[in-house]
Amino acid sequence: MKRSTVNTIMAEADDLIRRHGFTLPPFAYWSPTEFQARVADGSARRIADARMGWDITDYGQGDYENLGLFLFTLRNGHLADLERGRGMVYAEKLLISNENQLSPMHTHVIKSEDIINRGGAILIVELFGSDADGNFDGEKGGTVLCDGLARPFAPGEKLKLAPGESVTLNPGDWHAFWGEGGTVLIGEVSTVNDDVTDNVFREPVGRFADIDEDADPTHLLVSDYDKWFA
């Protein structure tokens, strides 16, 4: 993806988020140099280490309009706390999925998550079950919770979530999603999130975009942190 495109997506996403009554935290608006200085003096080291912030991906395929997702990680806990069962064991994100913009079929090794339609169009969530080892099984369904109610699903069934509705997904619940009829603002509330190691995709795609630096970044992506904060 071109950096200029990333900058535009950030601005458009911020506007959409505000129109739905949400406001991003102050660190969302730091310039790259301010963020770098705050990490260097230690005050923002926690934000960088937890990979909180802007995340725009085309899954390494160069076709963001059709295969992509906007994310902003608002908060993220510690895997060590999750392992010992106390402390900051949770994470929260805002996502934006455009009409027919696919987030491809995947599951997670550790993370359980609620995917919530926060407003806009209909959110489609396609579901498959897994085999005994957690691998994708195109012939298996399963059961998820939709706003606390058990919801059995057949393999490949597509849930339709209207604004306010949600689905709870656990490891082994294979899922893909996209907007139907327009753009959807999505909430994600989950256990601790590690996008580097915890995503398992059915097809061989990348988790982060390759960036063509045709412009200076307005704000850093989480995938920029290793380079800027080495």
Nearest to 118 by CA among 64, 161, 67: 161
CA dist., res. 69 & res. 4, Å (int): 17
**Residue 78's domain spans which residues?**
3-228
Give the CATH number of the domain where residue 8 resides: 2.60.120.10
Residues 190-203 as b or e (16 or more Cβ within 10 Å = b): bbbbbbeebbbbee
Is the confidence at residue 230, as pLDDT, over 90? Answer: no
Q: Which amino acid appears at position 23 of this protein?
A: T
Task: Give, as one character, the DSSP assignment of residue 35.
Answer: H
| pLDDT tens string 53-75 | 999 999 999 999 999 999 999 99
pTM summary value: 0.96
Total count of domains within the chain: 1
Is the confidence at residue 226, as pLDDT, over 90? Answer: yes
Q: Is 73 helix (H, G, I), strand (E, B) or coil?
A: strand
